[in-house]
Structure 1
Amino acid sequence: MIRYLTGADGVRLAVREAGHPSADSTAPPIVLVHGWAASSAAWTHQLTDPGLTAAHRILAPDLRGHGESDAPDGGYDDPAAWAGDLAAVLDHAGAPAVVVGWSYGGLVITDHLRERGAEGIAGIVLVGAITEIGGGHPGGAVGPALGGVLREVLADDPDVAVPALASLAARMTSEPAAGAEVQRRLADTLRVSPRVRRALFRRTLSSADVLAAVDVPTLVVHGDADEVIDSTAGEYAAGKIPDARRRWFAGVGHMPFAERVEEFNGVLRAFAGSVANH
């Protein structure tokens, strides 16, 4: 099911929903925030997991400029805009939620923490995530799969951008994914206009103080074979956030939720359960 919410500056946000609000009144909702040039479809294995949907209401927004959401002219370099968008989803969740941020989604969560604190957040899961951006900021360290094609994936020229984006889509996982799945990832990326893809990187942001002030349970998840976001970015966040838990997936790339579905979903269920009892 897809519904539409109003985010910051009136932006229309598409949100996939699964589960049922009254599935378990003691279980927190789960909000899944995708990464750069992706969409909420990345979370298919979580949105359709019987164990998760039986216990939790699950919401997965398309970020502004992505998927079925509006692509406004601005807001992509503004922490307040990202915070406002996420706040709209958290308000709709109806109760403090476990917020899961993958890749750039971790930066969106950090923007919310910077602007609004942990309002509406019961717990945080950072998955292959960045929490900073810009040269010299360790919380935004990228791996060779992204760093090696960064200029190309931001280009207007399709002869330059499309091969680089296809390479990046293929290297999202450590083990080769089926060709149809790689093409689905690429299709999601190509729906995001070059101006939006560039705008998301037109930021320089340090988050050390923001991370140090986090006061909700946090789990940092990373694949130790991630070639898109370097695992040092995860280590940085885990080292800054008080009492953060770590869960590294051996031999896994940038998408542990797609590469090790049952294992990841089990970790998420356990974490959400611990938050409910926190």
Structure 2
Amino acid sequence: MRLSELSGADGVRLAVVEAGPQEAPPVILLHGWAQSARSWAAQLADERLTSEFRLIAADLRGHGGSEAPVGGYDRPATWAGDVAALLAHAGRPPVLVGWSYGGLVIADYLREHGSGALAGIALVGAITEIGRHREGGRTAAVMRAALPAALDTDPAVAVPALHAFIDGMAARPLPGELAQAALGAALSTPPAVRGALFRRDVGSADVLAALTVPALVVHGLDDQVVDPAAGRYAADLIPGAATSWYPGCGHLPFVEHADRFNAELAEFVERCCGEGP
């Protein structure tokens, strides 16, 4: 794996992890709320993915090794600018993959720039909207239970809430090492950032309906963080969207069923790039 940095919107420093040949078709991986690029460890280490594609996993602003500015988290143009910087870094049309909040970041990019510079998008346990009564942002029991305590500046309040949130992400308990890494990523995300990401009200129905590149919607049917209804909402709006539903799977299809997810992602990227059957 290769580590690098680039400048996003407003010059904010973004940390990037890459794997795979630089000349291969690029796949940009965007993680979820209070996590990091390391969420994609099973993809960054997959032999097929890293032999056929250039995987570019970025820490979103305010997360992981990226810079955490004071403001800007409520502006779609800010997130769109960060994604545009990643596209420039990729150097050719990529497939954008957004997990959880990463799906909203993709929608922000589409709202500002359209899909002309993309090869395709994949939404994984994703929201594409946020705000009260937004169907594309419908959350489930584990996410609702974590708030507002998970946003608190008092560790005695926030840590138990974040611990419960991580425990509830998967349909079955995660291995201890993975669970601790996810909790560490959540705790390393400043409380102000954790809260700022929720202070938005954005609909995306028009953005999804206008998509002109291939799309894949992946969602665990037992997801207790983002309701599967949010995935169905996006799939119904996106013209020609392909869907893949994971029974017995929670919020982490790319971890809980990594082999299946990696194979499906590889086949989807091949189709998007005109390199598959």
The structural deviation recorded for 1:119 is 4.0
Show the counterpart of 1:7. Answer: 8
Q: What does 1:88-237 align with in structure 2 at a 5 Å threshold?
A: 88-237=85-234
Q: CA RMSD in A?
A: 0.9
Q: Does 1:30 align with 2:23?
A: no
The code of the aligned residue for 2:238 comes to: I
Identity of matched residues, %: 53
Show the counterpart of 2:262. Answer: 265
Q: Deviations over 1:181-233 (max 9, x none)?
A: 21110000011011000000000111111111011000000000100000000
Unpaired stretches in structure 1, ≥5 consecutive residues: none
The code of the aligned residue for 1:14 comes to: A
The structural deviation recorded for 1:157 is 1.4
The TM-score, its normalising length taken from structure 1, stands at 0.97
Assess if the C-alpha contact under 8 Å between 1:91 and 1:120 holds in 2: no
The structural deviation recorded for 1:81 is 0.4
Show the counterpart of 2:20. Answer: 19
Assess if the C-alpha contact under 8 Å between 1:87 and 1:120 holds in 2: no
Q: Distance in 2 between matches of 1:269 and 1:71?
A: 32
Show the counterpart of 2:61. Answer: 64
The code of the aligned residue for 2:230 comes to: A
Q: SS of the counterpart of 1:171?
A: helix
Q: Distance in 2 between matches of 1:82 and 1:198?
A: 16
Q: What does 1:235-274 align with in structure 2 at a 5 Å threshold?
A: 235-274=232-271
Runs of 4+ with deviation above 4 angstroms: none
The TM-score, its normalising length taken from structure 2, stands at 0.97
Q: Distance in 1 between matches of 2:271 and 2:237?
A: 21
Aligned residues: 274
Q: SS of the counterpart of 2:148?
A: helix
Choose which of 265, 272, 276 in structure 2 pairs with 1:275: 272
Q: Distance in 2 between matches of 1:256 and 1:88?
A: 27
Deviates most, 236-245 or 113-122: 113-122
Q: Distance in 2 between matches of 1:191 and 1:175?
A: 24
Q: SS of the counterpart of 2:181?
A: helix
Q: Distance in 2 between matches of 1:162 and 1:276?
A: 43
